[in-house]
Chain A
């Protein structure tokens, strides 16, 4: 009996903070998504499924759904392909490789807000250095963030630039956990490099692959800071993902009820996709 009491006491602070500042708001978000609350009224009025009906016909929502998935997929592909290639180049332990592993991590230390500004300057059509460089090569400069077709890819590159090292370092850890004698065995078997990678290395780093795929995908689906700073969702909605649309509806237009409905949609997407990923990717993990 005393035991139970003490256990409860140990859990109490975490339980209280977690419930009041996360679980309660999350649950009430579902509730608000059925109201027209504007953030000012004390008593929001119930409007049934109206928000969700509006969601289905809202052009902005469909556009931002497309943008959200585009960003998430490109980010997942980019960070995992490039991250794995870098990790393969860096898995050794001579001083250059050790040093570079540290240098590559520096962008991770900087606030996403600052990263957004830095790339805003680089991409700037007026005083940016990217155009300066491209014009020096004899090609025409571009409006990297003002052009509807270019903006989203420019933004994605900046996000990858900052976060690539995280995927990389996790792949390095995965590669280093492969027992050395397996490499020796495959040398004796005379397996070619590519073959060895696909048949041996890649299956053995499956846990790192699963982790990175899920984390980068979720991160991509929810991304806000860098996009908000770099384009604010523009030009003409070309970079407005669900997180930015939610912010605009809830805090610029004060449509908290509708914003909550968008948040519920986001939650459903993140939940379904990450569960699917875990189930599919776990299947191919092998034990050694």
Chain B
């Protein structure tokens, strides 16, 4: 009796997985296949292999949307923002986890409040803030925005992790005469690498793919990021799907490669903040 129930469950399990795999893969396959077709092929035989692989779609998409420049901009923004988040958040979390309990608690809750507010609430006045600092349309402005909105969660994760790191090593370093600054960078920072990976991965993913902040604050074409350059293919009357799909594949390629190389870190990075281990 029990045996039979187990077999049914196992079959059901395979069925569920197969169905969802199908639903996940079909749209992805369609994008890749159709990015190599002509528009008329796409219209009349969207599911067949392309007769001739139209690699020109890729070069055309790349040139028309100025994607080389967009790549440069996206890499620059993502790299700089993620680096600032990791450096500044870990530094701020250090005295919060180690310092005077009263002060650090106040600072902790101040930063924590940043996790509660939706970005939309800051959005309208941010325009004015950036304007008065002459940061509208600049990468620096966007980097500051990503940095500030990620700070709450990042400091929360860092200070939680720091509390599990033993103090003995730092105290030994301090007694040996190393300053707080050197102690932090040479002793503490290497110890908290796992949580840095979590913070860096989840933020890179978000910033690389984010469309909303650049839409609002990076209007000029020369400052475009990858999502904005994909956005430029949209045409209300006639969308050139083949070019759009090629652009989507180009945009997703770097993250896909990174994902294949660092699967384990990615999965840990995504679950890291959720489950207390």
Of residues A112, A177, A192, A263, which shows the largest number of chain B Cβ atoms within 10 Å of its Cβ?
A263
Q: Please, which residues of chain A bring their CB within 8 A of the CB of B144?
A: 17, 20-21
With A6-B180, A89-B17 as known contacts, state yes or no: A17 contacts B211, CB within 8 Å. no
Which of A49-57, A71-79, A101-109, A138-146 is found at the contact surface with chain B? Answer: A101-109
Which of A58-66, A118-126, A147-155 is found at the contact surface with chain B? Answer: A118-126
The answer to whether A110 has its CB under 8 Å from any CB of chain B is: yes
Establish whether residues A113 and B117, one from each chain, have CB atoms under 8 Å apart when the complex forms. Answer: no
Q: Please, which residues of chain B bring their CB within 8 A of the CB of A18?
A: 111, 114, 148, 151-152
CB-contact partner of B91 in A13, A107, A109, A264, under 8 A: A13
Residue count of chain A within 8 Å CB distance of chain B: 85
Establish whether residues B274 and A111, one from each chain, have CB atoms under 8 Å apart when the complex forms. Answer: no
The answer to whether B9 has its CB under 8 Å from any CB of chain A is: yes
Q: Please, which residues of chain A bring their CB within 8 A of the CB of B9?
A: 193
Please, which residue of chain A has its CB at the minimum distance from the CB of B267?
Answer: A169
Docked CA distance A10–B128 (Å): 28
Task: Give the contact-size bracket for chain B.
Answer: 35 or more
Q: Please, which residues of chain A bring their CB within 8 A of the CB of B16?
A: 85-86, 89
The answer to whether B216 has its CB under 8 Å from any CB of chain A is: yes
Establish whether residues A129 and B30, one from each chain, have CB atoms under 8 Å apart when the complex forms. Answer: yes
Docked CA distance A24–B184 (Å): 30
Establish whether residues A23 and B124, one from each chain, have CB atoms under 8 Å apart when the complex forms. Answer: no
Of residues A21, A28, A101, which shows the largest number of chain B Cβ atoms within 10 Å of its Cβ?
A21
The answer to whether B241 has its CB under 8 Å from any CB of chain A is: yes
Docked CA distance A161–B209 (Å): 16
Q: Please, which residues of chain A bring their CB within 8 A of the CB of B251?
A: 111, 114
Establish whether residues B21 and A100, one from each chain, have CB atoms under 8 Å apart when the complex forms. Answer: yes
Docked CA distance A108–B239 (Å): 24
The answer to whether A200 has its CB under 8 Å from any CB of chain B is: no
Establish whether residues B92 and A15, one from each chain, have CB atoms under 8 Å apart when the complex forms. Answer: yes
The answer to whether A207 has its CB under 8 Å from any CB of chain B is: yes
With A21-B144, A23-B113 as known contacts, state yes or no: A111 contacts B230, CB within 8 Å. yes
Please, which residue of chain A has its CB at the minimum distance from the CB of B9?
Answer: A193
With A17-B144, A101-B267, A267-B117 as known contacts, state yes or no: A11 contacts B95, CB within 8 Å. yes
Establish whether residues B212 and A225, one from each chain, have CB atoms under 8 Å apart when the complex forms. Answer: yes
The answer to whether B49 has its CB under 8 Å from any CB of chain A is: no
Which of B39-47, B54-62, B160-168 is found at the contact surface with chain A? Answer: B39-47
The answer to whether A211 has its CB under 8 Å from any CB of chain B is: yes
Establish whether residues B271 and A170, one from each chain, have CB atoms under 8 Å apart when the complex forms. Answer: yes
Q: How far is the CB of A52 from chain B (nearest CB, A)?
A: 15
Q: How far is the CB of A6 from chain B (nearest CB, A)?
A: 5
Docked CA distance A110–B205 (Å): 9
With A86-B17, A89-B16, A266-B121 as known contacts, state yes or no: A161 contacts B24, CB within 8 Å. yes
Q: Please, which residues of chain B bring their CB within 8 A of the CB of A102?
A: 263, 267
A interface secondary structure, majority: helix
Docked CA distance A17–B144 (Å): 7
Establish whether residues B118 and A270, one from each chain, have CB atoms under 8 Å apart when the complex forms. Answer: yes
Q: How far is the CB of B229 from chain A (nearest CB, A)?
A: 10
Establish whether residues B122 and A173, one from each chain, have CB atoms under 8 Å apart when the complex forms. Answer: no
Establish whether residues B122 and A25, one from each chain, have CB atoms under 8 Å apart when the complex forms. Answer: yes
The answer to whether B259 has its CB under 8 Å from any CB of chain A is: yes
CB-contact partner of B121 in A14, A166, A267, under 8 A: A267
Establish whether residues A263 and B212, one from each chain, have CB atoms under 8 Å apart when the complex forms. Answer: no
Which of B65-73, B99-107, B191-199 is found at the contact surface with chain A? Answer: B99-107
Establish whether residues A109 and B120, one from each chain, have CB atoms under 8 Å apart when the complex forms. Answer: no
CB proximity to B under 8 Å, residues A187-235: 192-193, 207-208, 211-212, 215, 222, 224-225, 229
Establish whether residues A14 and B92, one from each chain, have CB atoms under 8 Å apart when the complex forms. Answer: yes
Establish whether residues B121 and A26, one from each chain, have CB atoms under 8 Å apart when the complex forms. Answer: yes
Q: Please, which residues of chain A bring their CB within 8 A of the CB of B127?
A: 39, 256
Q: Please, which residues of chain A bring their CB within 8 A of the CB of B181?
A: 6
The answer to whether B221 has its CB under 8 Å from any CB of chain A is: no
Of residues A22, A120, A215, A246, which shows the largest number of chain B Cβ atoms within 10 Å of its Cβ?
A22
The answer to whether A67 has its CB under 8 Å from any CB of chain B is: no
Establish whether residues A4 and B275, one from each chain, have CB atoms under 8 Å apart when the complex forms. Answer: no
Q: Mark B68-85, 1 if CB is under 8 A from A, else 0.
A: 000000000000000010
The answer to whether A132 has its CB under 8 Å from any CB of chain B is: yes
With A21-B147, A23-B114 as known contacts, state yes or no: A211 contacts B274, CB within 8 Å. yes
The answer to whether B256 has its CB under 8 Å from any CB of chain A is: yes
The answer to whether A7 has its CB under 8 Å from any CB of chain B is: yes
CB-contact partner of A114 in B25, B252, B276, under 8 A: B252
Docked CA distance A107–B266 (Å): 13
Q: Please, which residues of chain A bring their CB within 8 A of the CB of B223?
A: none
Q: How far is the CB of B70 from chain A (nearest CB, A)?
A: 12
Q: Which 5 A-B pairs have the closest CB atoms?
A: A21-B148, A111-B209, A14-B92, A7-B95, A25-B122
18 A–B contacts from the bound complex (CB under 8 Å): A7-B99, A10-B95, A20-B144, A20-B148, A25-B126, A32-B125, A89-B17, A105-B267, A109-B255, A109-B259, A110-B248, A122-B27, A129-B46, A161-B27, A169-B271, A173-B275, A260-B124, A263-B118
**Given A21-B148, A23-B110, A263-B120, 18 additional A-B pairs, CB 8 A:** A6-B180, A14-B155, A17-B148, A29-B122, A102-B267, A107-B28, A108-B270, A109-B252, A109-B255, A110-B209, A110-B248, A114-B251, A120-B239, A121-B245, A127-B42, A166-B270, A170-B274, A267-B121
